[in-house]
């Protein structure tokens, strides 16, 4: 059974927005979280709201130490005041969870006011290539055969807000990437094989079972242009996965997150989009920039021939504007030569 409760103030604000502007903003799961509770008491509700908002902050920032920031810690202590609505949900095993939806505008403003890295929800997936060194052979871990081995990765990635993709390990994968290439650290092969799964980001593992029951673990994050490595010995499966996932997600965050700035303190960045040859092109480009409007202040400065020029305020540099452009949007960012200017080329699908 599910019962839904709403914050009265949130309803008033939402109603005003709906009838005042004619635009309805759907709740975003990126700013929502479910937490198990012991009972339906007020104390458990308050605790669960704090836990849920903490998870949202960790997911949005990509930083598990986010509560070291006083403003975020204070927000968690008063988490119920930032809930748009919540609902109790009964699990099949007899337990109870509370599903919370938080005020996304409040979350964004908190990150903006305190200049904390913000990693928006349109994130690339992470493909996982795990090579196992067994007594008589080496092989890739397969999701169909190694369920218990791979399960902890899903839990950690969900917490960090990144989608996992596991290779099919079919003939196409075998031709693109051999298990020996993992041992030889041929990361160019890894990048080519990972492209099949719609991403430029891969977590590569090499695990060797030792006689004492522990594992010698090599983790590599392989990105579009760089790689990072972590080697250690460990026994606990969850610890092994946590350290590997964190290596990859931290590197992704550092290359993709942006610092939101207060609009009145931010300088305008000129973003020119070239190759706009039809109204259909213009509509497609507008849909991409409409999404950015939740994070930055933007307006069209000019339309000249096949070029649209936007004025963007709210992030510190052209490089960070480029980070906000989805990789499969059809917009190709050119190398930045001036801090306040970004050139994009429209490549229609």
Dihedral pair phi/psi, residue 247, rounded to 5°: -55, -50
- As a whole number, the mean pLDDT across the chain is 88
Q: What is the C-alpha to C-alpha distance for residues 20 and 26, in angstroms, rounded to an integer?
A: 16
For the ranges 194-208, 264-278, 287-301, 330-344, the maximum mean pLDDT occurs at: 194-208
Domains of the chain from N-terminus onward: 2-118 (no CATH), 126-256 (3.40.50), 263-346 (3.30.70)
Nearest to 260 by CA among 145, 111, 152, 119: 111
How confident is the model at residue 327, as a pLDDT?
77
Average pLDDT over residues 167-187: 95
CA angle in degrees (0–180, nearest 5) for 258-263-266: 70
Q: What is the C-alpha to C-alpha distance for residues 259 and 264, in angstroms, rounded to an integer?
A: 15
How confident is the model at residue 349, as a pLDDT?
57
How confident is the model at residue 121, as a pLDDT?
85
How confident is the model at residue 11, as a pLDDT?
38
Long-range contacts of 292-299 (CB under 8 A, 24+ apart): 292/324, 294/104, 294/108, 295/108, 295/118, 295/120, 295/258, 295/260, 295/324, 296/260, 296/321, 296/324, 297/263, 298/271
> Position of tokens 């669960």?
48
How confident is the model at residue 46, as a pLDDT?
96
Tokens of 119: 């990693």
How confident is the model at residue 21, as a pLDDT?
29
What global pTM score does this model have? 0.81
How confident is the model at residue 64, as a pLDDT?
87
Q: How big, in percent rounded to 5, are the helix, strand and coil portions of the chain?
A: 40, 30, 30
pLDDT tens track for 127-145 = 999 999 988 889 999 999 9
pLDDT tens track for 186-212 = 999 999 999 999 999 999 999 999 989
Per-residue pLDDT at 6 exceeds 70: no
215-222 and 227-234 strand pairing = antiparallel
CA distances (Å), 323 to each of 12, 42, 120, 258, in order? 35, 42, 10, 7
- With 0-12 CB in 10 A as exposed, 13-18 as middle and 19+ as buried, what is 324? buried
How confident is the model at residue 15, as a pLDDT?
31
For the ranges 43-52, 58-67, 155-164, 315-324, the maximum mean pLDDT occurs at: 43-52
pLDDT tens track for 148-168 = 999 999 989 988 999 999 999
What is residue 181's DSSP assignment?
Answer: H
Average pLDDT over residues 172-180: 95
Residue length of the chain? 349
1: pLDDT confidence band, cut at 50, 70 and 90? very low
pLDDT tens track for 239-267 = 999 999 999 999 999 999 999 988 887 88
Average pLDDT over residues 220-233: 95
Tokens of 189: 């092969």
Average pLDDT over residues 322-345: 89
């Amino acid at each position: 059974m599910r019962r839904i409760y709403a914050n009265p103030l949130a309803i008033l604000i939402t109603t005003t927005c709906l009838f005042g502007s004619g635009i309805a903003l759907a709740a975003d799961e990126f700013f929502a979280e479910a937490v198990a509770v012991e009972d339906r008491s007020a104390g458990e509700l308050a605790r669960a709201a704090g836990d849920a908002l903490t998870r949202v902050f960790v997911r949005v920032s990509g930083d598990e130490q986010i509560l070291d920031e006083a403003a975020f810690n204070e927000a968690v202590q008063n988490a119920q005041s930032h809930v748009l609505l919540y609902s109790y949900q009964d699990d099949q095993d007899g337990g109870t969870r509370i599903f919370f939806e938080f005020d996304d505008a409040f979350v964004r403003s908190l990150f903006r006011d305190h200049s904390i890295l913000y990693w928006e929800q349109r994130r690339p997936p992470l493909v996982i290539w795990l090579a196992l060194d067994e007594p008589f052979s080496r092989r890739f871990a397969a999701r169909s055969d190694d369920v218990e081995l791979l399960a902890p990765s899903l839990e950690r990635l969900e917490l960090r807000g990144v989608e996992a993709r596991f290779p099919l390990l079919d003939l196409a994968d075998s031709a693109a990437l051999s298990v020996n290439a993992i041992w030889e650290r041929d990361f160019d092969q890894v990048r080519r094989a990972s492209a099949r799964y719609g991403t430029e980001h891969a977590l590569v593992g090499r695990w060797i079972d030792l006689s004492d029951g522990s594992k010698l673990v090599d983790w590599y994050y392989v990105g579009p242009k760089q790689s990072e490595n972590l080697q250690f010995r460990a026994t606990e499966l969850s610890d092994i996965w946590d350290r590997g996932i964190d290596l990859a997600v931290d590197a992704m965050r550092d290359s993709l997150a942006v610092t939101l700035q207060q609009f009145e303190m931010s300088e305008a960045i000129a973003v020119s989009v070239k190759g706009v040859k039809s109204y259909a092109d213009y509509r497609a480009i507008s849909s991409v920039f409409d999404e950015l409007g939740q994070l930055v202040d933007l307006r069209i400065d000019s339309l000249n021939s096949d070029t649209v020029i936007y004025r963007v305020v709210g992030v510190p540099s052209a490089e960070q504007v480029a980070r906000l452009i989805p990789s499969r949007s059809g917009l190709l960012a050119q190398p930045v030569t001036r801090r306040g200017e970004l050139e994009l080329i429209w490549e229609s699908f």
